[in-house]
A and B are shown apart, each in its own frame.
Chain A
Amino acid sequence: MNSETNVEYLKYIVETDDPKALLDELMTAYGKEVWNYAYSITRKWDMADDITQEVFLKVYRHIHSFRRDASVKTWLLTITRNTAIDFRRSAFFRKVTLSDWMEERGEARSVEQEAMEKWAVGDLWDLVLKLPVKYREAIILFAHHQLSMKEMAEVLGVTEGTVKSRLFHARQKLSKMKEQIDHG
């Protein structure tokens, strides 16, 4: 999954005249990636739906402003992250997802959370989704979206050194979680 190959793709589509057709193409190519990243941040299906919707609405409105030297995927994931943060900051989000605050600290997990994660397709996904968000994000950008260190740093707004540090701690935590499972 090499994100750099996507650049040519957007260069092609932004030259067309129909933004709705462009959006449709982008949703086909990146809809799942945007939704999966939104879910990995929020761990709520409905919230991931709403964030994905807002991301593509933003893209639709500003599609011709895309910097052609950038990676489409990195661009979309950055917008996804910013949108997720906006949702978290909004009073509306706070009113409807009070229990998440606790769950993120690993001190309590909502019933909904437990139920949703039962659907996760693999053991590692299940473990990754239990990581604190900053480690979860790093490992998902690395292993699922398969971004380079530079791209991850761009999306997360941190230095590459910080990305490496987060990955190191994420791997350590995952490894410990695996050991605990392996040893019953």
Chain B
Amino acid sequence: MDDAFDKELKDQLSRDPFPRRGFDARLRRRILERIDGKPERSGRFRGSSRMVPAYALSAFVVLLFGMGLWVWNGQHQGGTQEAKIQAPASAPLAETTAAPALPTTRYALLIGLREDTGSGATGTVSRYRTVLIAPQGSDPDRLELAADVAGLYMPYGQNFWEIAVNETADGRQALQAIQATGRKSVRADTALTGASIPDYLLNERVVYAGNRYLSIRSEVRDARGGIADNLWVKDIAQLGAARNDPAAEPHVALEELVPNAGNADPSGKRHEQWGISRIPGQWAAQTPGGDLLGVELPTEAVQHDQLTLSWEQIQRLEPGSLDAFTYGNMLGVVTNVGGIRVRTVRDGESVSDPVTVPLAKGETVVMIQWAQDPYVDRWIEAMRSFGGQQP
């Protein structure tokens, strides 16, 4: 990207977007008539005139405090999933998704869960499962638990990939991406060979999976025989790559996704080790030590990550929610009792019975993916086939 492109942009976009209409005499007259107290001629957006007092108030606030207090700033806030949501205003609202979906459009929610089952001889041992909550039949508001399958299945491209745990006889775990659907799909039991795991690697576990990226925490044996804790973000293609040097671990540096991320670091060093983890209402970039990096993750890394309901609405629908995710007409929450609850919502009101996905102690969300028609049935079919069910 160069200055020539910026010049082209400014040259072409300095013109108005349309050759006609826009702000014209007709609109100017309409505004002046409103000021003179005449009723609006156009009836289509009468709602806007009913909202004038609220706008006047918000304008007054803008004028009173200047323009720097706009709260829709997308900045990541601190906190963990364990901490109950205390500050509703800090949760970003979707920029473009405040409106509900078309009533006939069906959506499905795919959730990846990781359970750390304790510390084995070689460190943490993790198990995964993937659950799909989808409409039952053609009614978008009648949800069911369509699949609950062992293993982590991640949609990528037009296919599903299993993020499989490759385990050695002595209990060490490494992750490997295996295409689970499509022409090039293979069976995990034939693709996994514990022999390919380097000796220094003790375990790897998924912290985040989405789009083409995974955030992975690993423990490795260092040169002095100690154990080092690493946190990487990897492209799915880097998973399971041959490796023999912990210092040359394939990864995606933060600056490759967020070019200006290093600006805040006086040392100017790139963030080679970093991760994506869940905080209430969104995914956030963090350091290996768990500090939030305060950068905005691009849609290439994290999609559909903005709530379409306010925290007040979410807490009213699901008191005690610790985390929430929304898309289309669906709201999923992680509650402090009973696990994950998913329901459909229209105009801020619940319109379905919730589907509950109980969580085991220590089980955490590592993936949230959404589908909508026409992909919903394809996802149901694929997930049920992974679980050995009839589609």
Contact = CB atoms under 8 A, between A and B. Distances in A.
A68 to B, nearest CB: 12
Contacts of B8: 124
A98 B103 CA distance: 9
B299 A132 contact: yes
Interface string A44-80: 0111111011101111111001110010001100110
B58 A86 contact: yes
Nearest to A139: B9
A70 B66 contact: yes
A159 B295 CA distance: 10
Contacts of B45: 46-47, 50, 92, 96
Contacts of A89: 93, 98
Contact of A158 (B34, B58, B75): B75
Interface string A17-44: 0001001100100011011100110000
B248 interface: no
Chain B contact residues (Cβ within 8 angstroms of A): what range? 35 or more
Given A53-B30, A90-B51, A119-B18, A161 B100 contact: no
B18 A121 contact: yes
A19 B264 CA distance: 45
Contacts of B52: 54, 57
For chain A, the bracket of interface size reads 35 or more
A157 B73 contact: yes
A128 to B, nearest CB: 7
A125 B13 contact: yes
Given A85-B72, A165-B296, A35 B22 contact: yes
A91 B75 contact: no
Interface in B64-84: 64, 66-68, 70-75
A56 B70 contact: no
B15 A122 contact: yes
A31 B27 contact: yes
B101 A124 contact: no
B259 interface: yes
Contact of B17 (A23, A129, A132, A157): A129
B9 A36 contact: no
Contacts of B60: 62, 65
A98 B97 CA distance: 10
23 contacts: A1-B14, A20-B32, A34-B23, A35-B23, A36-B17, A54-B52, A58-B59, A62-B63, A65-B60, A74-B67, A81-B70, A82-B70, A92-B51, A93-B47, A94-B100, A96-B44, A121-B16, A143-B9, A144-B17, A157-B71, A157-B73, A161-B264, A168-B260
Interface of A: 1, 20, 23-24, 27, 31-32, 34-36, 39-40, 45-50, 52-54, 56-62, 65-67, 70, 74-75, 78-79, 81-83, 85-94, 96-102, 104-105, 107, 119-125, 128-129, 132-134, 139-140, 142-144, 146, 154-159, 161-162, 164-166, 168-169, 171-172, 174-175
Given A20-B35, A101-B96, A161-B263, 7 more contacts: A27-B28, A31-B27, A49-B30, A57-B31, A70-B67, A144-B13, A169-B300
